[in-house]
């Protein structure tokens, strides 16, 4: 991995999904690993962005097989301690609307609001944002909440773009550990590198 061509993709790193949230998917230990990756991104000036969940417009979607979560309009900005990207966050579906202050740029960390279970490139608007986020990327490091949901969708969307994917398994939470193990096994069959926070740090620092 080379830092200049590596993207850190954090998925659903939000207070509601953290250890003391309304639907806790991430353990305290996993949360520390996630925070360590944010420190690393700041240290190496890495490109950051990802996926956020917010169900304010569709609250029923937040309850399909899960506890109610991310129901507030600002849920995408509610981050656990130590988990803010180095650049200001920009959350959007990808439609470039300069008149509304929503044009995409490289001065923000871009987050696609496709949520906890949908593909980040599942419709035209989200795909535009995801394409912008991943342009010029060779390697992506994926971590956060929801191995069976948002993480799996992010991994597969990255693979569709022929990006090398590394998942920090010690910084990835799940609702169902047994189901998550099956998904991780499938990722490995697809060529995904299942790794650790420490290994990612070593690979990037020696590049």
Residues in the chain: 207
SS3 category, 77: helix
CA 169, distance to chain mean position in Å, is: 13
Question: Mind listing the pLDDT tens digit for each residue in 54-87?
Answer: 876 665 655 566 778 888 888 889 999 999 999 9
Structure tokens at 77: 């900005």
> What is the DSSP track for 180-198?
HHHHHHHHHHTT-EEE-HH
Top-confidence residue, 72 or 13:
13
What structural domains and CATH numbers belong to the chain?
3-205 (3.40.50.850)
Question: Mind listing the pLDDT tens digit for each residue in 184-196?
Answer: 999 999 999 999 9
pLDDT score, position 108: 86
pLDDT score, position 97: 46
pTM: 0.91
Question: Mind listing the pLDDT tens digit for each residue in 122-131?
Answer: 988 889 999 9
Question: Mind listing the pLDDT tens digit for each residue in 131-175?
Answer: 999 999 999 999 999 999 999 999 999 999 999 999 999 999 999
pLDDT score, position 57: 66
Rounded Cα gap, residues 128 and 181, in angstroms: 31
pLDDT score, position 73: 82
Could you tell me which of 96, 103, 98, 90 has the C-alpha nearest to residue 48? 90
**What one-character DSSP code corresponds to residue 160?**
H
Whether pLDDT at 35 is above 90 = yes
List CB contacts of 55: < 8 A, sequence separation 6 or more: 61, 62, 69, 70, 71, 75, 115
Top-confidence residue, 76 or 10:
10
Structure tokens at 61: 């979607």
């Amino acid at each position: 991995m080379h830092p200049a061509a590596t993207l850190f993709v954090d998925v659903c790193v939000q207070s509601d999904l953290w250890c003391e949230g309304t639907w806790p998917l991430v353990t305290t230990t996993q949360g520390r690993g996630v925070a360590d990756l944010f420190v690393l991104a700041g240290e190496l000036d890495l490109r950051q962005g990802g996926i956020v969940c917010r169900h304010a417009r569709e609250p029923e979607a937040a309850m399909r097989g899960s506890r109610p979560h991310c129901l507030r309009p600002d849920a995408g900005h509610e981050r656990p301690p130590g988990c803010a990207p180095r650049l200001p966050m920009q959350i959007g579906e990808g439609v470039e609307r300069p008149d509304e202050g929503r044009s995409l740029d490289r001065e923000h960390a871009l987050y696609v609001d496709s949520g906890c279970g949908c593909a980040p490139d599942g419709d035209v608007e989200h795909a535009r944002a995801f394409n912008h986020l991943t342009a010029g990327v060779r390697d992506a490091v994926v971590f956060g909440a929801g191995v069976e949901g948002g993480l799996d969708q992010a991994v597969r969307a990255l693979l569709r773009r022929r990006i090398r994917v590394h998942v920090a398994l010690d910084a990835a939470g799940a609702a169902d550990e047994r189901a998550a193990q099956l998904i991780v096994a499938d990722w490995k069959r697809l060529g995904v590198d299942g790794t650790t926070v420490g290994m990612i740090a070593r690979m990037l620092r020696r590049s």
